[in-house]
Structure 1
Amino acid sequence: MIKKYFLLLWISFLASSYSYGQLITEQKDLMEVSDEVNLSSPYHTTLTFFYNLEEENFHPDKAAKTFNLKGAETLNGNQLSVKLKQIFEGKGVIIRTSSIPNEQNYRDTLSGSDQIFYFDRTKLPGVFLEKTGNQWMFSSFTVGQINSLHRETYPYGTAKLLDLLPKIGNEEYLGFHLWQLVGFLILIFLVFLSHLVFTFLVDKGLLYVLKRLGYGYIGENYLLPIARITSFYFIVLLLALFLPVLQLPTEIWAWIIVIINTLKPLLITVIFYKIVDVIAAYFSKLAERTESTLDDQLVPLIRKTLKAFVIIIGTLFVLKEGLNLDIIPFLTGLSIGGVAIALAAQDTIKNFFGSVMIFLDRPFQVGDWITSGDLDGTVEEVGFRSTRVRTFRNSVMYIPNGKIADATIDNHGLRQYRRFYTTITITYDTPPELVEEFVKGLRAIVTSHPKTRKDTFHVYFNNLSSFSLDIMFYIFFEVPTWAEELECRHEILIQIMKLAETLEVRFAFPTQTVHMETFPEKKSLSPEYDSDIKRYQAKLGQFMQEELRKKEN
């Protein structure tokens, strides 16, 4: 990693050396300026200012004559001229004489045809030339802003290095002064040192503390990647703070500024992108504590939405801060285009808001059995556009959320109790006493079963049909799933059959019976019942004792 940083910085170093000589070649016309100060046009004022601040021809007093010091006579013009040149270099503003108007009566059409000239409205909006009388000079507003702009360009006391580093020596090597090379090496050392220190504090310090607290997994998988990206961000801030002090050639420094200003929002975007994973992990833990499964499905959707939001906002900041693009027209275009897109994608938008309503109202959750018209199945996934339902034929149905939001949903998964209703038919020749005891036995089966609702059930002899005596059997099971309901039905029906067998009750079915007189040599096919009710009560008691004994065992 260290070798890679050193190689990249050395390439930038060589590129700066080459471009510096190229820039000097482009500015040879400055040497042709006479000793007299010429302020007749923006072009001549600019040449006068920068020419008199060159090392070979350093006359800050002549450069200071380009300032309009009206109202600021107490300021030191020589120091202000040097500071202004350092501001141009620190901000990476490239001055090309070919682009400066050479007209005495030049007017800026972007400023209401005022006689002013801006060097760079984006980087230095407060620095401009203004025609005063017959001369073009740096405006009094610009003069008043120089000290504050200088502190902004070289913050946290780094401006003092501009005076200290040149004292190391001005000998030139590879197109650079000795003090620039020394400063460059010191900066490389500081970058490596800060990276090593930060890595040590995070890997050995923060991670160690998290492991001791029992959060080692979170530290290694979530916080450590964020900390490493943050260390790169601090390195970029360090470079942005100290590189302007080295006074690199303006053309190269202008490109470096673009790279640094691009890396800042880019790294912040990556940091927040990683933070979204931490937030999603926290919400996942919260979702695991709830019984609902819909929030388990909601967490991935929130993570994807937040990441998309971070990427969009980060891209806008990269365009604005790094590439100096005006994003207002871009946003305006998006708003206008958004109307057209919204009209063309009405169904998609409707489905999106339908999914929002599903997550807010929670009419069902993953795993619920729902029915709605032809829809009948178990919910498997709820997305932003559609809901996936697994039918009982094992096929998969995708239903747009917009339709689900407007439909009537019967959610069987939200039932607290599951109803079981059937009619038990017995033969007409069953005596009333036996019917009564059989009904009592049915009720006892319901009350003794562990998963039936005891406060509400109905078991009555309630109908005389064409071929049977009908007993209504209406109960509820306290079970959450259909499989458990089927199991309870099975248990109840088996108990009913055992009860009927014990009491010798016969179940009726649609038949036609022809009754004939009883012949001496042959008995009737109809059963003969005992009219003694005590006998039936004894049989019922014996049945209940056997069932109780089976449960105890």
Structure 2
Amino acid sequence: MRSLILKRPLAFFLFIFFSFHSPFSLIDDYQNAVKAQNSNSTGTSPSISSQDPLGRGTPRGTASGFINAVADKNYQKAEAYLNLEDVEDVKKNTEIVKTLESLLNHNGYLYPYSSISNESTGKSNDGLSSSIERVGILSINGEEMDLTLEKIAGPDGAPIWLFSKNTVKLIQGIDIRSFNASGTIETLLPSFLKRWSFGGAVIGHWIAMFLIGLLSYLFAWAFVIITSKIIKTSWKSANHEPVSNIINAIAFPLQLFLAVWLLVYVSNQMGVSIVVRQKFSWLPVICTIIAASLLLWRVTQFLSDFSQRKMNLRGNVSGVSVILFLNRAAKMAIVVFGIIAILGAVGVDVTTGLAALGIGGIALALGAQKTVENFVGSVTVITDQPVRVGDFCKVGETVGTIENIGMRSTRIRTLNRTIVTIPNGQFSSSEIENYAHRDRFRFYHIFEMRYETTPNQIRYLLVELRKILYAHPKVNPDPARVRFTTLAAHSINIEIFAFIMVIDFNEFLEVQEDILLRMMDVVEASGSGFAFPSQTVYLSRDKGLSQEKSDHASTTVEEWKAKKDLQIPKFTSEKIEALKDSLTYPPEGTAENSNL
């Protein structure tokens, strides 16, 4: 734990203080050199920002030029960055520059260079006039005022940006000696730390900046640790996954964000030199981007780990593969967009790169259209789960068992024992009939009886066939339907419909076989028989129908009528309850029945 506490701030401050030279100045110098080289090679006129020797062609150039001039204690040069037209006494120009420097040192604030426009036209969406640019804030007599630049025509007619007349008017009558310096760095620093200067500010301010940064980091670290302990103490769920993992994931990004912004706020309130603070103006922006990217990275990893555990518990190997792929893709996107955001924050023009990236992405998407389609299809199949490995199903015209769901395709073992591979894009858009989720089987048959069958024989059949359905323990009595439906061309049709309460197909065949055999016994007992198709011609001596059995069926029906017990058109609930599970299944005399 101690090593972790020491390593993180050490890396943090090495990163800050060994790179104190603002990357904006390096990038601006590089861009200006490129512009100058292009201008010389093509013979065209130089850019606006390079026409002015002081770099006042853009708001950012004016702001950074003024700070650099103040850092060099070249107040005469710094005067060139202010619009001093309305100042009557030229001797006060240097005093005005020093007053502006003091205001910036004492609770003043200059925006990070990344937030200041580097275009000669300034910002067009800030709600101000096109010739006015807001670049910071001044605190005058406890009131905050906007620090603004204004665009004017230079000596050669090219536009240049200067600190506005209104800004100069605000600070013109302020006495530097009236500033309340109590509690600032200047009053706290010992005299020997004020003797030497470095980078435009006394050594004491650099040391103060380092100490403020160190204390800010330690305070942020302590705040995050204490807050985490309080949450875990007051909320029991915070000690268990996944809440504890979420807290751990956001702890360091929050700590980094809080440390940087404490550094900015405290250094401003303590009156650290604007030269020192502006050297690190890029730091809050970049650290915020890094903290946000790190937070997204950790949240992505947490979601990936959580989803993988869920998929492993379900035995979904394909789902784990998809999650790993999405995790890598999301992290790659976080890194790419983080780098783009950082480059934009330090002043690099990423518009061209983004345009090229967009064109390349379109070309890649067109070339990998089928691959992307199959990947999206695999994600759909895995998340929606219309089928799982081992399910017996029908996909389009293919019937078989799912053997594997991959990133690109799904393999099905057909009834012929062959393997059919279907791309996931096509698979997810096909009609899928999954037999594995069937909770019962439909029993549906039409008995075609001979036309010699009498009405009483039909009644006998209707009653006795229903008895079988109601009495069989494997048949759901609701609905269990036996109906005389049709006088067909060559037969009298009786429709039989019910659900057999089994989920295995082989067991369904066994139960169906038993029911059909019982129903054939009933048909034979009724004295009727199954009809032959009328188009079939056969020569035989027809023995005719059994008169004895026909009389028996008629007698039975008449007895039911006499007793008012004819269960037509439907059975009474009492009769159904009495018949329930009264049949023996498996049938008597079978091997399975003998084992019961």
Aligned twin of 2:368: 345
Instruction: Tell me the SS of whatever aligns to 2:242.
Output: helix
Q: Could you tell me which of 248, 252, 265 is aligned with 1:224?
A: 248
Aligned twin of 1:400: 423
How far off is 1:375 after superposition?
Answer: 1.8
1:465-492 Cα distance to aligned partner (Å, 9 max, x none): 99xx99866424276xx83455344334
The whole-number CA distance in structure 1 between the counterparts of 2:581 and 2:155 is 117
Aligned twin of 1:237: 261
Aligned twin of 1:371: 394
Aligned twin of 1:31: none
Alignment check: 8 A CA contact 1:351 1:401 kept: yes
Alignment check: 8 A CA contact 1:376 1:392 kept: yes
How far off is 1:195 after superposition?
Answer: 0.6
How far off is 1:69 after superposition?
Answer: 1.4
| Residues 1:187 and 1:221: Cα distance change in structure 2 (over 3 Å) | closer
Instruction: Tell me the SS of whatever aligns to 1:67.
Output: coil
The amino acid that maps onto 2:337 is L
Instruction: Tell me the SS of whatever aligns to 2:363.
Output: helix
Aligned twin of 1:79: 99
Alignment check: 8 A CA contact 1:165 1:179 kept: no
The whole-number CA distance in structure 2 between the counterparts of 1:464 and 1:81 is 108
Instruction: Tell me the SS of whatever aligns to 1:548.
Output: coil
How far off is 1:494 after superposition?
Answer: 2.6
How far off is 1:319 after superposition?
Answer: 1.8
Aligned: 1:333 with 2:344: no
How far off is 1:7 after superposition?
Answer: 3.6
How far off is 1:268 after superposition?
Answer: 0.9
How far off is 1:346 after superposition?
Answer: 3.9
Instruction: Tell me the SS of whatever aligns to 2:400.
Output: strand
Alignment check: 8 A CA contact 1:42 1:136 kept: no
Alignment check: 8 A CA contact 2:409 2:421 kept: yes
Instruction: Tell me the SS of whatever aligns to 2:251.
Output: helix
Aligned residue pair count: 467
Alignment check: 8 A CA contact 2:373 2:425 kept: yes
The amino acid that maps onto 1:235 is A
Alignment check: 8 A CA contact 2:212 2:263 kept: no
Aligned twin of 1:194: 220
How far off is 1:165 after superposition?
Answer: 5.3
The amino acid that maps onto 1:8 is A
Give 5+ residue unaligned stretches, structure 2.
27-50, 57-61, 123-132, 137-147, 171-179, 533-537, 560-574, 586-595
The amino acid that maps onto 2:467 is A
Aligned twin of 2:53: 42
The amino acid that maps onto 1:140 is L
Aligned: 1:548 with 2:582: yes
The whole-number CA distance in structure 1 between the counterparts of 2:355 and 2:320 is 32
Alignment check: 8 A CA contact 2:319 2:382 kept: yes
Q: Percent identity?
A: 19
The whole-number CA distance in structure 2 between the counterparts of 1:430 and 1:140 is 113
How far off is 1:170 after superposition?
Answer: 1.6
The whole-number CA distance in structure 1 between the counterparts of 2:427 and 2:182 is 65
Instruction: Tell me the SS of whatever aligns to 1:140.
Output: strand
The whole-number CA distance in structure 1 between the counterparts of 2:231 and 2:181 is 31
Aligned twin of 2:291: 267
How far off is 1:354 after superposition?
Answer: 6.4
The whole-number CA distance in structure 2 between the counterparts of 1:283 and 1:158 is 57
| Residues 1:260 and 1:84: Cα distance change in structure 2 (over 3 Å) | closer
| Residues 1:162 and 1:48: Cα distance change in structure 2 (over 3 Å) | same
Aligned twin of 1:181: 207
Alignment check: 8 A CA contact 1:451 1:488 kept: no
The whole-number CA distance in structure 2 between the counterparts of 1:17 and 1:409 is 63
Matches within 5 A, 1:509-548: 532-533=552-553, 547-548=581-582
Give 5+ residue unaligned stretches, structure 1.
24-39, 94-107, 113-120, 149-156, 288-292, 518-525
How far off is 1:332 after superposition?
Answer: 1.9
Mean Cα displacement is larger for which, 367-376 or 426-435?
Answer: 426-435
How far off is 1:201 after superposition?
Answer: 1.0
| Residues 1:340 and 1:235: Cα distance change in structure 2 (over 3 Å) | same
Mean Cα displacement is larger for which, 368-377 or 239-248?
Answer: 239-248
Q: Could you tell me which of 141, 158, 162 is aligned with 1:140?
A: 162
Alignment check: 8 A CA contact 2:392 2:401 kept: yes
Aligned twin of 1:3: 6
| Residues 1:280 and 1:339: Cα distance change in structure 2 (over 3 Å) | closer
Aligned: 1:206 with 2:231: yes
The whole-number CA distance in structure 2 between the counterparts of 1:199 and 1:489 is 67
The whole-number CA distance in structure 2 between the counterparts of 1:78 and 1:181 is 23
The whole-number CA distance in structure 1 between the counterparts of 2:286 and 2:17 is 22
